[in-house]
Structure 1
Amino acid sequence: MSLKVRISDDMKAAMRAKETARLSALRLLLAAIKQKEVDERIELDDAAVIAVVDKMLKQRRDSVAQYEGAQRFDLASAERFEIEVLTAYKPAGMSTEQIVAIIDEAVASTGASSPADMGKLMAVLKPQLAGKADMAEVSKLVKSRLGN
Structure 2
Amino acid sequence: MSIANNLTEDLKTAMKEHNKVALNVIRSLKTALTNEKVSVGHDLTDEEELTVITREVKQVKESIAEFKNGGRDDLVAEQEQQLEVLSKYAPEQMSKEEIDKVVEETISEVGASAMSDFGKVMGAIMPKVKGKADGNEVNQSVKAHLS
TM-score (norm 2): 0.92
Structure 2 segments unaligned to the other structure (5+ residues) = none
The aligned residue for residue 70 of structure 2 is 70
Aligned to 2:4: 4
Residue aligning to 1:97: 97
Give the SS at the match of 1:91: coil
Provide the rounded CA distance (Å) in 2 between the counterparts of 1:61 and 1:94.
16
2:21 is equivalent to residue 18 of structure 1:
no
Looking at structure 2, the residues matched to 98 and 77 of structure 1 have their Cα atoms a distance apart, in angstroms, of: 29
Per the alignment, do residues 69 and 97 of structure 1 end up closer, same or farther by CA in structure 2, a change over 3 Å counting? closer
Write the distance in 1 (CA, Å) between the matches of 2:97 and 2:69: 33
- Report % sequence identity: 33
1:115 counterpart = 2:130: no
Q: Tell whether the 8 Å contact from 1:4 to 1:46 is kept in structure 2 after alignment.
A: no
Q: Deviations over 1:68-118 (max 9, x none)?
A: 222221111111111111111122223333322221221112111112211
d(CA) in 2 for partners of 1:116, 1:129: 22
> Hey, what does 1:106 align to over in structure 2?
106
Gaps of at least 5 residues in structure 1 are: none
The structural deviation recorded for 1:6 is 0.8
Shift of 1:39: 0.9
- Aligned-residue CA RMSD (Å): 1.3
Partner of 1:134: 134
Partner of 2:124: 124
Residue 88 of structure 2 is matched in structure 1 by 88
Query: Shift of residue 26 of structure 1?
Result: 0.7
TM-score (norm 1): 0.92
Residue identity matched to 2:113:
S
